[in-house]
Every structure is written in C-alpha cells, then in structure tokens.
Amino acid sequence: MNPVTPDQLALQRLYFWERTAPDQIALTQPMGAGVTRDFTWAQVGDEVRRMASHLKSQGWEPGAKVAILSKNCAWWLMSDLAIWMAGYVSVPLYPTLAHGTIEQILSHSEARACFVGKLDDWEAMKPGVPVDLPCISYPLSPEDAIRRFEGWDAIVARNTALNGEVMRDADELATLIYTSGTTGQPKGVMHSFGNFAWAIGRGVERVKMTQDDRMLSYLPLAHVVERALVEHGWLATGMHVFFAESLDTFAKDLQRARPTIFFSVPRLWVKFQQGVHHKMPPAKLKRLLSIPLIGGLVRRKVQKALGLDQCRFAAGGAAPMPVPLLAWYRQLGLPVNEGYGMTENLAVSNLTLAGQNQEGTVGPPYTGVEVRTDAADGEIQMRSQAVMQGYYKEPELTRETFTPDGWLHTGDKGHIDAQGRLHITGRVKDLFKTSKGKYVAPAPIEDKLVMHELVEACVVTGANLGQPLGIVMLNAEALKRAADPAQRVQLEAALAQHLTTINASLDPHEQLKCLVVATTIWTVENDIVTPTFKVKRNRIEDVYSANYERWEDSGQVVIWQGS
C-alpha cells in the first residue's frame, strides 16, 4: 500500500504553489491573432477562489455536480479547481459531443450548472443544454454563449476571494468521467481525490516530471489521460502548461510550447510521421539517418520541425502503437514510451521504461499496481488504489466490472512475459470467428494495415465470412488524389501491394480477402471514432456490415465504398 497524504491532494497542491511560487507562470493561453495570456500561480489561485466563492453562494448541496463543456483552456483547469474548492463535483463533457449525448449526461449527472467555454460547434450542441440550467461563459466562448450567459471575468470581478484552505478528503468524490469507450452508452466513472493523488504519485515515479517541465494541452481534458497527466501532473509538479489554439495552429502551438513531456494518441503519431514523409520520402530519410554525422543533423532538424526538439519523454497510448511506428521514432532519436490504462483506473496500469527498448509491450506495471491474466480467456485484470469507486447510479454494472475477489475486468486480452512486461493482443470481445470456424484477432493485423503512408485508420472485421476483410480510411491527401481517375489507379495498386505484403505474414485463416476504402471520413461527429480517435467497432458494423458478403464475393482486391 502507498497511502496518500493530505499534501498530495489536488487543492492542497494549488495552495502550495500559491504560497511558494506565486509569480511563476503556471498557464499560457493563446487568445487569437498570435496573442497569448500568461497566468501566474497567484493569479490562478485568486481567480479560482473568486469563482469558488460564486459557486458556493448558490447554496447547492455538498457534492452537487457542475459540468464543464469546453475545449482545453486555462479557464477549464480553473473551473475544475473552483468546483472542488466550492465543495462540488466536476462533470467534464467532451467538446465534440452531439446534443443528445450532452443532454443525457447533464440529466444523468443531475448537473446544477455548466461552464460553456471554447467550442467549435456550439450551435449544434446548444439544444442539449436545458434552457433553465445556469451557465457561465469564458472569454473565448462562442459569441452566442457570451451574450446568453454571465461571463467568467464579470463573476470574478464582483466576488471576493474565498479565504483559507478548503480541505477535500481523499475518499471524497472529485469527478464523474463519462466514458462509453468504443461501445455502449456513456457511463459516469466515479473518481476520488485520493484516486488522482495516488495515480499521479505513481506516474511521477515512472516519468520524472519536475517544475521545469513544459507540456502542451491539446487532447480533450475530458479524457482520462489529459486529466491525469496534464491537470494533475501540473498540480503535482508546478510545471508550465501551454494550450493549443486550434487544429490549424497546432504546429505553431507546438513550436511555441516546445514541450519537454509530450503525449499523443497513435493516430496523431501516424499523422506526424506522414507529415515528415510528405516533405522527405521515407527511403531518402532512412538513407540520411544511416550516415553518422548527417544523420544527427537530420534528426535534430526533423525534431525541431515537429516542435519536439526539447522533448525528453514522449509517450503514446489510448490505443495500440504499431511496433514499426515505434521503431521509426526511435531511429529519429525520439523514442516513444507506450502506456496502458483505462478511465476506470485513471490510465495508470503499465508503462514502458524510459531508455529501454520494450517495443511490442506496454512495459511493467507501475509501482503498487497488480496485473494478472485470466487463465480461461487471457483477459487482463488489475487492481490498484487508482481504481474507480464505481459507475455513478449503476451498482449492478459496477459489480459486473469486478471479479469476485476484487480485480478490475479490463476487457483486454494479453499475456505477461518472463520480465514482467505486459503484451496486449486485443480485446476479449473483439475476437471473431469466420465461417470456417477459425478465430481471428483483429488488432495485430490492424497494426500492420495502418503502417502505410496512405492509411490513416483501419478496421479488420468479418464474423461469419469465409475470410476477414479490411476497411481503411485514407488520409486527407490520398483522398484528394483519389478524385483523379489516373491517380486512383495508382492508389489501388499501392494498396493491393500492401495487402499482398500483409497477407504473406499471416496464417491462412487470417488473410484478408480484400481492402475496402471508406469514402466517408471517420470522425467524432459521425460517431465512428471516439474523441481520442479509436474506431468504434460497433458503429463500423452498423454502417458497413450489410455490404460484407457482396464485397467478399466481388473478386476485387481493392474496393471503393459505394462501388
């Protein structure tokens, strides 16, 4: 057991930085047109205390729920702290949700108010926010929200700061993190202040974060990794957090922050690689990297172009990282550590060790985390002090999520090697059986399929078919090229060759019958991917399964959706 001490809890960390580093810059927020705004720890503390005073004055019951619907920004973090200081529980919502899901979460959580912040599509989301729900806007909120709701700055200006150091006990509920994963309706995962403190304590043992570090916050703060690593890493270490402005400015945002610690999901690591290859063909880059002196210069140039030349710890997670992708970054002088976890354990389960090549695994468990695999089906099960208190209002579902002896069912399948490193081989329920009675694990095949410069995302499917088939979504540049008939022929030839290469490495029952090219882009908005870009298999089945037999019988190697 690693007991949590009061000084490790989130609010106590804020008070510590207020006292010891009041003039240190804590947050840097882009305001548009190249302008940024810095917040010192003293300013963060003052605004949080004033907003907490306002929230507390509403007289809601202790533990009342207050929602945050916004893209990442300084006010998101300050809202979370103010909610906690006022004695309430925060409910973050992804800034890409459909209005029906927003309405469902606000209703299920019984939210008493909502911060409506920086959003790209507020008009589509607005119907999901009840007209009688008290809301607060941010300086960067959409114009309509600024007109309709009282603003953060106005509330801060008219309230006096809450004095003293409000304590929230380790076992008190801090937040509900709603997650549906790749299937099902959103579930409210309940995490306490102690869960967070214990998780980040183990995290900084494995990843040596300090007050001198810099991070760029750009993945949704409603997601467990960004919440634990960025928000609670910031509070634990006092590091400097920068925020991304938009997708269009992301490259400039990275250059501005030059993060020393950087986390991204596999799909974005692939996009970074494709961006490098677009400027320098893979064969040429590989050749230059192999030349002793020139290779070092090229590595530094590419790292600087990515904004990662100061990065001393890079990590990936939320979905499997293909081994060839990890090897590519290692050759670039930017080894990417792979982590494993889930919302239910605050993403703290396993992480590869820095400085060791553990590619193909997610490394050993964090200190204090126990991991085992079920003898019957290979399911990974774990337990630690970061495991959730349960699902909000779902006692039966909570019971089903744990084994009789108290281990968390992850739903993932894998094995532990002699060195104690965990290998993940897929999802227990993702296995499917072909009409020949053979089981296929899609994840390892998808790792091969996505490693082509044309492919941005993919799925391997085919329950009850003679052979599995692959469905791929091309990257934006390849889709543009596909509009030209002559270039489409070239794309088909490249994909067909890729399929031949993959099939040569697979057992006969795993070999893909064909590749289907999706002409619909998979997005969060059309509900085919999660906010961290994991493909929802159930939605793939909904959208495409009626065509599977026709595609299998077509005799074509590469098929364009709709043809």
Residue 381, token pair as written in the block: 């099960």
Interval 429-475: pLDDT, tens: 777 778 777 778 888 898 889 888 889 888 999 888 889 999 999 98
What DSSP state is assigned to residue 171? T
Mean pLDDT over 299-314 rounds to 92
Instruction: Tell me the mean pLDDT in the region 115-138.
Output: 96
Residue 116: strand pairing partners: 69, 137
Please, what is the average pLDDT of the chain? 92
Measured CA to CA, the distance from residue 453 to residue 306 in angstroms comes to 18
Burial tier of 92 (Cβ tally within 10 Å: 0-12, 13-18, 19+): buried
Q: Who has greater pLDDT, 562 or 12?
A: 12
Taking 70 as the threshold, does the pLDDT of residue 33 lie above it? yes
**3-state DSSP call for residue 8?**
helix
How does residue 534 score in pLDDT terms, banded at 50, 70 and 90? confident
Are 308 and 287 contacting, i.e. CB atoms less than 8 angstroms apart? no
CB proximity list for 237: less than 8 A, separation 6 or greater:
204, 209, 210, 211, 213
Q: Which of 120-124, 249-253, 521-525 has the lowest mean pLDDT?
A: 521-525
Stretch 341-362: mean pLDDT, rounded?
92
- How far apart, in whole angstroms, are the C-alpha atoms of residue 81 and residue 76? 9
> Domains in the chain and their CATH numbers?
6-237 (3.40.50.980), 261-309+311-428 (3.40.50.12780), 431-560 (3.30.300.30)
Question: Looking at residue 183, what is its pLDDT?
Answer: 52
Query: CB burial class (10 A; 0-12, 13-18, 19+) of residue 342?
Result: buried
Helices (H) and strands (E) in the chain, counts: 21, 26
CA distances from 456 to 122, 183, 277, 447 (A): 28, 21, 14, 11
Give the residue from 355, 358, 324 showing the smallest Cα distance to 338: 358
Amino acid at 508: P
Average pLDDT, integer, range 356-360: 87
User: Which segments within 3-153 are labelled E, that is strand?
Assistant: 25-32, 35-40, 65-69, 89-93, 113-116, 135-137, 150-151
User: pLDDT tens for residues 370-422?
Assistant: 999 998 888 999 999 999 999 999 999 999 999 999 999 998 889 999 999 99
Q: In what order do the strands lie in the sheet with 370-373?
A: 370-373, 379-383, 408-416, 422-427
Residues 6+ apart with CB under 8 A from 218: 72, 243, 244, 250, 253
Q: Are 170 and 11 in contact (CB under 8 A)?
A: no
Nearest residue to 9 via CA among 174, 248, 229: 174
Q: How far apart are CA 547 and CA 520, in angstroms?
A: 15
**For range 496-509, the mean pLDDT:** 89
- Which positions ≥6 away from 496 have C-beta within 8 Å? 515, 557, 558
Query: Is the pLDDT assigned to residue 182 strictly greater than 60?
Result: no
Structural contact between residues 311 and 304, judged by C-beta atoms closer than 8 angstroms: no
Give percent above pLDDT 70 in the chain: 98
229-286 pLDDT, tens digit per residue, is 999 999 999 999 999 998 888 889 999 999 999 999 887 888 888 888 888 888 898 8
Distance CA 106, CA 84 (A): 18
pLDDT of residue 195: 97
Candidates 143, 130, 165, 133; CA nearest to 49 is 165
Ranges 9-18, 65-74, 193-202, 241-250: which has the least confidence:
241-250
pLDDT band at 181 (very low <50, low <70, confident <90, very high): low
What pLDDT band is residue 184 in, cutting at 50, 70 and 90?
A: low
Q: How many residues does the chain have?
A: 563
Residues contacting 58, CB < 8 A, separation 6+? 112, 113, 134
**CA atoms within 13 A of residue 317's CA, in its CB half-sphere:** 26
C-beta neighbour count of 35 within 10 angstroms: 8
DSSP string, 110-141: T-SEEEE-S-S-HHHHGGGS-TTS-EEE-TTS
Token readout for 343 is 């919302």
